[in-house]
Structure formats: structure tokens, C-alpha cells
Amino acid sequence: MLVAAQHSSNKVDCLVCSYCFRFIGSIELQIGRKLYLQGLGLSTKKECDYQTFSHSSNGFCQNEMEEAEGNFFMNESDNTGSSSSKNLKADPLPEDLLLSLMNGDLSLPYTRQFALPPVIACPGGCEEEHYCSNLCADSDWESFHSLLCTGQNTERSRRASLFKFIEHANSTNDIFILAAKVISYTILKCRKLKRSHTTEIGKQPSLDKTDEFSFSLLMEAWKPISMGFKKRWWDCIALPDDVDSGDEESFRMQIRDLAFTSLKLLKEAIFDDECAPLFSLEIYGHIIGMFELNNLDLVVASPVEDYFIYIDDLPCKEKHEAETVARPFLDALGDEYAVCCQGTAFFPLQSCMNHSCCPNAKAFKRDEDRDGHAVIVALRPISIGEEITISYIDEDLPYDERQVQLADYGFRCRCARCLQEQS
């Protein structure tokens, strides 16, 4: 992936590396932190202080519970012997118990089988980003975060502007965070190219060639982003079901105005004269539209789910002993024990693949993935020299509905299946 972000609403539920999206800390920290924050009223369903945790309402991922009879952790039997799915949370656990779990003073049985990387703090001192290693922390800092960090090391006025931008994104659409990361990436890459070029030739370009030189570096830095198909966000976003077609123009203008406000706030925070073209509404709209048309869901399975499944599969004696300790925490978590990390990512290679309604591959997140990487999986044997295609839409839709959805991508599909099905 070139750029990705965990959904703001998911950050209370899952503590993950902000660069590779692996779960970090420990099973105890994951459980204790989630229950503690929810006890403070910071949940995916409530707004919270954007300086510590974000409050967007989209992106919440909750796995469905298995309903196999006799599964201790998934079902509870009543006195008649029938089984009913456990959907309600137990009463909140004592705060001191949760703090002991988070601080490592209390250990749950068998969690060593699910060891996680330690939590590494942000180099800039902010509380929003955490990492699984110094390598990820440094990579994120060099690629994105040094311009977007709200830590105490950031200049005061810029820090205040960043908070305003983040607050707006979290209360409207956290796709703006991704757009900011793209712009930050391009600016930092451009600066790095400039330093490298100056080092190689030993001097700065002459004044009459400065603008030309800066633009060429900006275009070079922009290359990885240019791989994604782009269309202005307000032109390509699907019309919601609750918006009448007669109100479409007004709706798209509102979306444009939303992007304009976001861009204005971002400019106040990280504007760079040498990269000024990045801060036009046209470019900003195309960056957001790129995510609308090319994004792949970022999903990383929770080790907490794996942990409780492991406990449930233990032999009777060991299972009973483990349940005595672990059961109160599962009851407190309720159905949300299996919430995964979820976000949005841009993968340049995947974005280069053309569409087919009978694709020979698909972009896929595997159950065994423990970070934000994805794979392209072949759906059938692919011959040497044959183009690899994926589907941009639900290929099970009827022909006419497929063509309507693909119109957002700017083309009419003429794959073998469409040619056969067209009237």
C-alpha cells in the first residue's frame, strides 16, 4: 500500500500500528483499553475529544458471531437446554481492574500464545499515532506524519490548525485524512528529491529556472499517486438512496463545499509554496475521488477474537480454569469482542488493473493477514501474457446495472461477458 488510514471510529476498538496496521501491545492491553475507553463514553457510537480519539461514525467493523450450539463463548444455554446467542454486554468492570489489565499487573491465561509487538510512541510526541517498531515509526514520520503530527514539538499555530482540520474530517468524512496523507507524502518526497539533487550537483538551480525545477520535482514526487484513476470526488460519489434525483446537483455542490472547507483548513496547517499546485480544489477533489474509485478496504483480523476462540477449544479442564478468569472480560465486551481493524488503503498496483465483469483475479485481504498488506488472488489459471483483470463492482449484477455503476469510472464495459449479454 502507498497510503492508508484506520477509520477514526475504529480507533477506540483496536490499537494498531499507524504504518503497517498490525495489532500492538498485548491481548490484555487490547481488551482493557477498549473497555476502559468505552467506560469513559468514548465509543464508536459517540463523539469524543478529537485531540485524543477521533469520532467519525463510519468505518465500524463488527464480525458476526458464530452460532454453533455448545460453543461456550458464542452461545449461552438456558435452564431448558436451549441455546441463545449472547448479544448483551454485562455490567461494566471496575476501573481499577481494567487499569491493572492495561498496565500489565494482571495477566490473562494463555495470552503468551498471542504475543504482540510492543507499543512504540510517535517520534513527534502526539498521542494519536502508535507503532509496532521504530522502523515503522521512522518510516511513517519520513513519509507522512512529520507534517501532520499534533505533538508538542509541532509549532503552536500549525498544531492548532491541524487540530481544526482533523476535527472537521472526523466529524464529516475521514477520507479527508487520507487526502492529507497523500499531500503530505508528495511534499515530503519532493523535499527529499530536492535535497538529493542539490547534493549531487552541489548547488541550487539559478533563479530563472527555480520554478521549472520545483515543478519537475513535484511531478516526480507525484508519480506513485498518478497511477490511480482520478475523477473529482463530487462528480463520482454515488448518489445516496435518500437523495432524490432532482436534488442531485445540490447534493454534489454540498460535497464540493465540504471538500473546499477541508482543503482550506489543511492549507492553513501545511501549505508549501513550492508545492502550491497540490492545494488547488481541483487536485484535492481528484485525490479524494481517487480513493472513491480505487480504494481497497483495509481489514486486519483481531487477535482478541483468536484468543477467545483458542480458549473455547481447550480441553475441558484447562478450558474451565481459563474461563474462570477470562469470562468476565468476554461478557463485558459482548458481541464486540471480535471487532477487527478497519480502514481504507490505496494500492498502486491494484489501481493499475483494468476491470472485467468476468475477472481472472481479485484484490483480497486474507484471514491470515496480520498487517495492512493485501494480495491479488487468481480466480482461475492465467496464461502467460494474459492481462490480469479485477472487477470494480459486484459482477453478479445484471448487465444494465453493471454498466450504470461503471459509468462512474468513465467507461462502458465491453468485456467478453458484456458483449455476450448486451441486447
> Which CATH number is 354-422's, of 1.10.260.40, 2.120.10.60, 2.170.270.10, 1.10.640.10?
2.170.270.10
* pLDDT of the residue at 371: 79
* pLDDT of the residue at 199: 74
Phi first, then psi: what are they for 84, rounded to 5°? -130, 140
Inform me whether the pLDDT recorded for 4 exceeds 90.
Answer: yes
For 17-66, the pLDDT digits (tens) are 999 999 999 999 999 999 999 888 775 543 333 333 333 322 223 332 23
Helix, strand, or coil (residue 392): coil
**Confidence class of residue 205 from pLDDT cuts 50, 70 and 90?**
low
Distance CA 183, CA 198 (A): 23
* pLDDT of the residue at 15: 97
DSSP 8-state secondary structure symbol assigned to residue 232: -
Least confident of 42-56, 127-141, 174-188, 281-295: 42-56
For 385-417, the pLDDT digits (tens) are 999 999 998 999 999 999 988 887 878 999 999
Averaged pLDDT score across all residues of the chain: 85
Distance CA 151, CA 142 (A): 15
Instruction: Please give the residue that has the higher pLDDT: either 239 or 217.
Output: 217
Q: Which amino acid is at 373?
A: H
Phi first, then psi: what are they for 260, rounded to 5°? -60, -45
Inform me whether the pLDDT recorded for 112 exceeds 90.
Answer: yes
**Confidence class of residue 372 from pLDDT cuts 50, 70 and 90?**
confident
**Confidence class of residue 203 from pLDDT cuts 50, 70 and 90?**
low
Q: Pinpoint the alpha helices (H) of 20-59.
A: 27-39
Distance CA 126, CA 107 (A): 28
Inform me whether the pLDDT recorded for 236 exceeds 80.
Answer: yes
The answer to whether the Cα torsion of 320, 325, 326, 331 is positive or negative is: positive
The phi-psi region of residue 81 (left if phi > 0; otherwise alpha if psi is between -120 and 50; otherwise beta) is left
- The domain spans of the chain are 3-25+116-298, 354-422
For 321-371, the pLDDT digits (tens) are 999 999 999 999 998 898 999 999 988 888 888 999 999 999 876 666 677
Residues 85-101, mean pLDDT to the nearest whole number: 78
Percentage with pLDDT > 90 across the chain? 64
For 117-155, the pLDDT digits (tens) are 999 999 999 999 999 999 999 999 999 999 999 999 999
Least confident of 67-81, 273-287, 368-382: 67-81
| Complete DSSP assignment for 295-337 | -EEEEE--HHHHHHHHHHTS-HHHHHHHHHHHHHHHHHHGGGG
400 contact partners, CB below 8 Å, separation of at least 6: none
Buried b (16+ CB within 10 A) or exposed e, 274-293: bbeebbeeebbbbbbbbbbb
